[in-house]
Amino acid sequence: MSAPRFTAHAERQMRKRGITRLEALEALLNRETMYASRVDESRTVVLGRTGVGRRLKVVVATKSMLVITVADRDEEC
């Protein structure tokens, strides 16, 4: 897998949520499940864990491995 790129939106959301690039990459590598986005079929939702067990949701553009956004699954509304 090639290293994903991050959108400016993803970077802003990660900063706001206290999530690092390394954590997002760990969640992608340690995925528990993944599925096509219900909102946009060109995106994939990956549910994974960081090395220390933090549960993240990473939304990526499927074909380009561009990270759209990242969220902490335990802090989502």
Please list the ranges in the chain whose pLDDT falls under 70: 1, 76-77
Looking at residue 34, its pLDDT comes to 95
Grouping H, G, I as helix, E, B as strand and the rest as coil, residue 65 is: coil
Report yes or no on 67 lying in a domain: yes
Q: Is residue 62 part of a domain?
A: yes
Q: Kindly tell me the sign of the dihedral angle through the C-alpha atoms of 55, 59, 65, 66.
A: negative
Q: What range does the domain containing 35 cover?
A: 5-72
Residues in Cβ contact with 16 at an 8 Å cutoff, skipping those fewer than 6 apart: none
Looking at the domain assignment, is residue 25 inside a domain? Answer: yes
The whole-model pTM stands at 0.90
Domain count, the chain: 1
Q: What is the pLDDT of residues 7-16, one digit of tens each?
A: 999 999 999 9
13 in a structural domain: yes
Within-domain flag for 77: no
Structural domain contains residue 30:
yes
